[in-house]
Amino acid sequence: MEVTMKEKKTAQKLQLGASKIPRYLQHCCLFLFFFAISTPTQAFDYGDALEKSLLYFESQRSGRLPYNQRVTWRDHSGLTDGLEQGVDLVGGYYDAGDHVKFGLPMAFTVTMLSWGAIEYWQQIVDAGELEHTLEAIKWGTDYFIKAHTSPNELWAEVGDGDTDHYCWQRPEDMTTSRQAYKIDEKNPGSDLTGETAAAMAAASIVFRKKNPHYSHLLLHHAQQLFEFGDTYRGKYDASVGVVKSYYASVSGYMDELLWAAMWLYKATDNEEYFQYIVSNAHSFGGTGWAITEFSWDVKFAGLQVIASKFLIEEKHKKHADILEQYRSKAEYYLCSLLNKNDGGNNVERTPAGLLYIRQWNNMQYVSTATFLLTIYSDFLHSTNQKLSCNGGTVNHDEILSFAKSQVDYILGSNPLNMSYLVGYGSKFPQRVHHRGASIVSYREHKGFIGCTQGYDNWYSREGPNPNILVGALVGGPDNRDNFEDRRGNYMQTEACTYNTAPLVGVFAKLLEMEKQKLFHDSNSLLVSSF
């Protein structure tokens, strides 16, 4: 067996610590140590998963790519976005395997990346991935700054889903419409402004120490956007009709307004935002909705989890009754994930134990659920509390163990031994439903590839994609753990930015746990050898 660098360093530490131990016992100890690390177990390299997950966001970049772009099969694209409307909308992210820039899922992606960085900053630093994490966040927030062209104006979408889906082209060859759509005072979109405000407020916390000027700029935009969304209320899909078939706001805008106020409170410590969360708790559904989904559309569970953590702070004691109601709904959600609610009000699982919400792109719900479970486990651990469900009490270790089981399923601990994180492990989806990945790289073949040519020559191919969409979390298996690796099977093989984003922080957390376990096991082995 080949010994990794990590194992060599640990062995070196053991040798240093054993300098006063008789040599024959040192050899005995080291033999036992290497025997232990050679014992076959299903172990996952969370550091590798973290690195790969951040690479995925470089594959999804729109605009002029930077000099340090690591995903080399991509090139510049969408360089005239906004030109027809007289505004610079170059940049941002493509949401999935197509080339439309949808504001709502893009903003949620950035919020989740930022939240992960806030919760697991030191773990990401220790993994050596801080700069790549900041770059992934900033690629989105730079675009939001451009898209917020005046206090009460935000560009919601670039491109058109209908025409885009008629074409199978690389982003570098785009011939589809790049029409841009905005919301304003006459055509409001409180859900979109709310989520974008949340993303920029969360990112402002991330950049506070590293780039204070940029952090202040993000916070300024976040505050303006929240005021715009709260003053001129309405659903963005009513103002931007073309988005209805793709990212309709089913939950409405009240969850996003509460969500934005929550992140602005965390970013500013301004009591007015906290009062907004408390005074609108009932009327906006914050303490009324108990649901089993956290997603780009439905923010209640995330909001409720953050509100729960305020209960331990002395300054919030006077609002304990409202915060307790938030916590009750947060714990209903968490208990449903853990199969601990009475009366069958639990999230379904596949036979092999994967959370299953719905048929289309189920992994997005698994990754968000895993994130909330992980941070709530940390909260309970730090405050010496347990989770009380109708079906019993759960400690923080049990919650974290279940969250880890979901991540391990994603990485290959499943009936198919398939990693659903593309590029990770030896077996992963080869035919991801993704235009750019499925067509020869523009850098290798600069000849134009048209709409029908792409469908005829590339989409219909049975072979693997020529480019590996590293770090993409695909839609995943069905409710029986079955998965069909076919490009046309978009419900299972398409990946989205908001699938991978919540896992960045979780991978960093699990990597730290594995390092601590290795250190603890090596120390225990050393002690037990004498």
Residues marked active site are found at 98, 433, 485, 494
* CA 141 to each of CA 54, 202, 303, 389, 428: distance values in angstroms, whole numbers, following the listed order: 16, 10, 21, 38, 31
Amino acid at 273: Y
Give the span between the Cα atoms of 127 and 231, in whole angstroms.
43
According to DSSP, residue 159 is labeled: S
Compute the half-sphere exposure of residue 18: CA atoms within 13 Å on the CB side of its CA: 24
Phi, psi of 445, rounded to the nearest 5 degrees: -135, 100
Q: Return the number of other C-beta atoms located less than 10 Å from residue 500's C-beta.
A: 30
3-state helix, strand, coil in the chain (%, to 5): 55, 5, 40
C-alpha distances in Å from residue 188, one per residue of 141, 179, 446:
21, 19, 41
Neighbours of 151 (CB within 10 A): 14
**CA-to-CA separations, 67 to 55, 60, 70, 79, in angstroms, rounded:** 15, 16, 9, 16
Report d(CA 297, CA 291) in Å as an integer: 12
Q: For 261-298, give one letter per residue: b (16+ CB within 10 A) or e.
A: bbbbbbbbeeeebbebbbebbeebbbbebbbbbbbbbb
Q: Residues 304, 326: contact at Cβ < 8 Å?
A: yes
Nearest to 258 by CA among 237, 279, 231, 238: 279
323, 307 in Cβ contact below 8 A?
yes
Q: The tokens of 107 are what? A: 């903003």
Of 212, 298, 317, give the one whose Cα is nearest residue 254.
298
Q: How many residues in the chain?
A: 530
Does residue 144 come out as left (phi exceeding 0), alpha (psi in the -120 to 50 range) or beta?
Answer: alpha
State which amino acid sits at residue 257: L
